[in-house]
Amino acid sequence: MSRQMSRYVAAVGWPAAAYVLSTIVAALLTKHMQPGWPRMLAAALPLPAIMWLAHAELMRLRRCDELRQRIELEAMTIAFALSFCLILMLALLDLFGAIHVTIFAAAMLMTLCLLGAHWWVRARYRYGCPPRDGENAP
């Protein structure tokens, strides 16, 4: 494992593991419970782990240098906009009965958008692109 990856795992490994574990437990519990408020509480089980993961990611980003923060911010902005549009389109197709979209598919789409945005932004900063008029080179 590279040093960069080991630092990332050290920063967000436990919160990510707690999120995955709590999501699995919530899915198993809600599958076997009757509808009602206990089922809603079981479905909300991953929320503290999500908040912990978001906090750990924010703290990791605050420790990064300015270029890494810029790369991360650009990638997250691109991924958020792209995944929001794609998921909205899929939700509308699901609403009109064209296709059935699961939450798992939407989560995987968001993950792929983030990975693709990271690849694109990192390639842009690594290999550069010619600056447009009035823009500084990256």
DSSP string, 44-91: TTTHHHHHHHHHHHHHHHHHS-HHHHHHHHHHHHHHHHHHHHHHHHHH
| Three-point CA angle 103, 115, 7, nearest 5° | 110
**pLDDT of the chain along its 138 residues, tens only?**
778 778 778 888 899 899 989 988 888 888 888 888 888 888 898 999 999 999 998 998 898 889 888 988 999 999 999 999 999 999 999 999 898 888 778 888 988 999 999 999 988 887 666 556 555 555
Residue 89's pLDDT is: 94
What lies within 8 Å, CB to CB, of 30 at 6+ separation is 39, 42, 43
CA dist 122 and 62 (Å) reads 19
Residue 32's pLDDT is: 84
Residue 79's pLDDT is: 94
Residue 135's pLDDT is: 56
Return the closest-CA partner of residue 17 out of 53, 57, 67.
Answer: 53
Residue 83's pLDDT is: 94
Residue 107's pLDDT is: 82
CA dist 59 and 56 (Å) reads 5
Residue 78's pLDDT is: 95
Residue 130 DSSP code: P
Residue 6's pLDDT is: 81
